[in-house]
A and B are shown apart, each in its own frame.
Chain A
Amino acid sequence: MILENIRLALKDFTRNKLRTGLSMLGIIIGVASVITITSLGSSATGSITAEITQAGADTITVFLTKGDTSTARYFTPELAAEMEEAIPGINQAIPLQQGSFLLKYGREELEGVTVFGVEEAFSEIFHSTLAQGVFLTERDNQGKKAVIVLGSEVAETLFPGGNAAGKYVRVFRRQAKSFKVIGVLEEQSDTMGMSFNTSAYIPYKTYISRLQRSDTVGRYAIGAKADADVLAVSEDIETYLTGLVGTSDAFRVISPSTIAEMAEGITSILNLLLGGVAAISLIVGGIGIMNIMLVSVVERTKEIGIRKALGASPNVIRSQFLVEAVSLTFSGGALGVITGLLLSYLGTSLLSWVFLPNITAVFIALVFSSFVGIFFGLYPAIKASKLDPVVALTFE
């Protein structure tokens, strides 16, 4: 009988398309927006996570607050080694310097290349691999050698014919300095404010002695141990540095994991907000359904009377109208889900994110919209079931 009622209800909806559509609109819009936003949210988190796993989640960067002269004296190149010593979760730590320079080779030149002063461990910390030659060594650093490793795009621009290793490039600030190319990095996607492909790398000591004098470092790059919890290591670094400097305002410890955590935090706040929006829209939608069901009960008083005369008990009439209300809200929910999935698919493909529909949200939305049907359909259904058979039959 339930099945027949569903069939009857659906038949009725298709007959009364406009009215059905309008009464479902609240639920459709509510569910569609929830599905869209949750799916966009999970797609965003998914995309960030995917990027992080690609870049390696074990890299931690300590950024220094610019212009904080009172604490600048603490941030020496040696601090890297001290942190490595003091914090067990650290595998390697190095200081970094960076500046923007013009690079030339023959007639080829490239403006705005970020030249980093780094130590040997750099390539390991950032999981960089070499396309040509070798990376900088500690000997290059100690000897303040004029050697350079190029990012892939820099190498392509300066050496369109390939084969950069062994050539001499000139680095300009005020005057030109000549550097021997000893290696070229493989292409590598950006992470933590580093654009590997458009950068070049020279020994740290070479950088401060030849390119730019500086007593404080630009930032520290730290690689966590493979088995360490990156977030815990980040916290240890934070505690250590706060203890050393006396304030946590002078620096910021950032790892892909903190970013992922932030993204997740934002998503969960968003989901919470959405829960509220969803609840309100479903209630509003439900009231719309209740309204239409009450109208329907009045319109079909005669039908109810006839059905009662044929032997339908109050329970049977009640379930007929309940089934109808639930069919209405469930269809609305399903349409909302389809609309929401379509919208979020469009959104993610526009943003070129991976499309990760939030299946839990879809499930909850469908369950909830059925529940709304039961809740808001109950009163009209009970009203219908309690109609007096004779009064209903003689209703004009």
Chain B
Amino acid sequence: MIPIITAENLVRHYQMGDVTVKALRGVDFFINKGEMVAILGPSGSGKSTLMHLIGCLDTPTDGNLKIDGEDVSSFNEKKLAGIRNRKIGFIFQQFNLLPRLNVLENVMTPLMYARIPVKDRKVRAEEAIERVGLSDRITHRPYELSGGQKQRVAIARALVTEPTLILADEPTGSLDSETGHSILTLFKELHDEGNTIIMVTHDPEIGSMCRRKIHLFDGRIVAA
């Protein structure tokens, strides 16, 4: 097994004036290629904080984090941006589509940052959109889509760069249970196709779907 993520003693503190908020108090784990992992835990336990670190949106206060063999804990903003672009596909609870762009343009954006020629961008974006079943909405703007459709666009956008790692922070948190279920089915399919997926959730359904679960409590892993 090849570990895609190796975390050693990951610490993330937030300094709020005189108070230090200890969001992560030292977590160790590794995640292998092709795994589908659920991160569970009560509100405020540090799930999102951990996802931001894994997603290279944030850097740890202490500890080591290796992603796909690269030690990212000491990377600068520019290098982190490169890792995010090439290796990570992020999916958020709030979809986070770019409101002024249509579906195709949204999905093409990460490819633009990867400096892929416009022609190829379009082809690849269309493929990704087809994969999530939204080919008939390609010129629609985000406000013209339902929540479930928006999340599918976000998934297409995460997939389009063929990332090493797909991260989803409560991807069904803003959806009704039926729509949420169909999104989860999509994730399951993506996992079956060989993608490595890490998902934060409160949803027991997701929990039961993932073979591996990491339980966080107060910034520490209590069960893995």
Contacts and interface: CB of A to CB of B under 8 A. Distances in A.
Interface stretch (A39-47, A189-197, A309-317): A309-317
B78 A389 contact: no
B77 A309 contact: no
A314 B80 CA distance: 10
A309 B112 contact: no
Give chain A's interface secondary structure class.
helix
A1 B108 CA distance: 12
A309 B55 contact: yes
A380 B81 CA distance: 20
Contacts of B29: none
Given A389-B57, A390-B57, A308 B81 contact: yes
Interface in A1-37: 1, 4, 8, 11-12, 15
Given A1-B112, A309-B84, A310-B109, A393 B77 contact: no
A314 B55 CA distance: 17
Contacts of B109: 307, 310
Give the interface residue-count category, chain A.
20 to 34
Contact of B52 (A11, A310, A390): A390
A310 B113 contact: yes
A303 B105 CA distance: 14
A298 interface: no
A171 to B, nearest CB: 85
Interface residues of B, number: 26
Interface stretch (B2-10, B90-98, B132-140, B193-201): B90-98
A231 interface: no
Contacts of B100: 8, 11-12, 15
Given A316-B113, A390-B58, A311 B81 contact: yes
A211 B82 CA distance: 99
A306 interface: yes
Contacts of A310: 84-85, 90, 109-110, 113, 157
Given A310-B157, A313-B77, A389 B58 contact: yes
Contacts of B77: 313-314
Interface string A53-97: 000000000000000000000000000000000000000000000
B145 interface: no
A311 B78 CA distance: 9
B114 interface: yes
Most buried by A among B52, B78, B90, B112: B112
Nearest to B157: A310
B33 interface: no
Nearest to B53: A390
Contacts of B96: 302, 305-306, 309, 393
B202 interface: no
Interface in B89-138: 90, 92, 96-100, 109-110, 112-115
B110 A313 contact: no
Contacts of B98: 303, 306-307
22 contacts: A1-B115, A11-B100, A303-B99, A305-B96, A306-B97, A306-B98, A307-B98, A309-B57, A310-B85, A310-B109, A310-B110, A311-B85, A311-B86, A311-B114, A313-B78, A313-B82, A313-B113, A316-B81, A388-B58, A389-B58, A390-B58, A393-B96
Interface of A: 1, 4, 8, 11-12, 15, 302-303, 305-316, 388-390, 393
